[in-house]
Structure 1
Amino acid sequence: MHASPPGPADPGKLTNQRVVFLEALSLTLRERYSDVSCEISRLTAGLPPTLRVERQEVAEDVGCDLSVDGWAFVWGFDPRNVIGPVADLRRAAFAVANVLGIRHHPDH
């Protein structure tokens, strides 16, 4: 008796490196800045996921890109607009918070 092949992946359970990195940044942002909301968007047009970060009336999209220097957070889908390496979540959260207009930062 043969086992049936696995069914299609559940889009709601999509996991890949980008999602893991974006989830880690989301957690860091929400822990450090209580008035920030975050949501990972999984687009269906074959585009990589992004993290929508909002505070009051301001929103920014953060993505992940793999370059010769390793994984980095980027603004939107643009690999030229690097926020910082995924290994430095605090620095990336600080940069995103600055763009959202947050001027009070933990540890600074």
Structure 2
Amino acid sequence: MSSMVPAEVRRLSSCPNMPSVTHYIAVKGSLFAVETYIFGINDSHFTEEAQKLGVTDLTVSQCVNGVILNRDPMYVVNLVARFGYEVIAASGGQECMWTLKRTIEM
């Protein structure tokens, strides 16, 4: 862990008894469009996370297994990175899919 993390947090996060859960999401969109899909997250959770960061200018709609956002996919990938997700895979051409994960310590 980084030396910038307080010692108490380093001690707790390295504790072997703390269970953790890995959560995956998929972001899908065209680099030429202003509509992006996120699968694996619901609209209320996404809105709550965005509001914690002060992001209030998004239109979030439900779709099957996820949400639709009124922003380009690179904005969305960068936004969910601020939620703690990291890109682990990407594929595509005109339409791209990014797989991201976040580990949550319980």
Same fold by TM-score greater than 0.5: no
Higher strand share: 2
Report the TM-score range of the alignment, normalised by the length of the smaller protein. under 0.3
Asked which structure has the greater RCO (Cα within 8 Å, sep 6+), the reply is 2
The normalised TM-score by structure 1 is 0.27
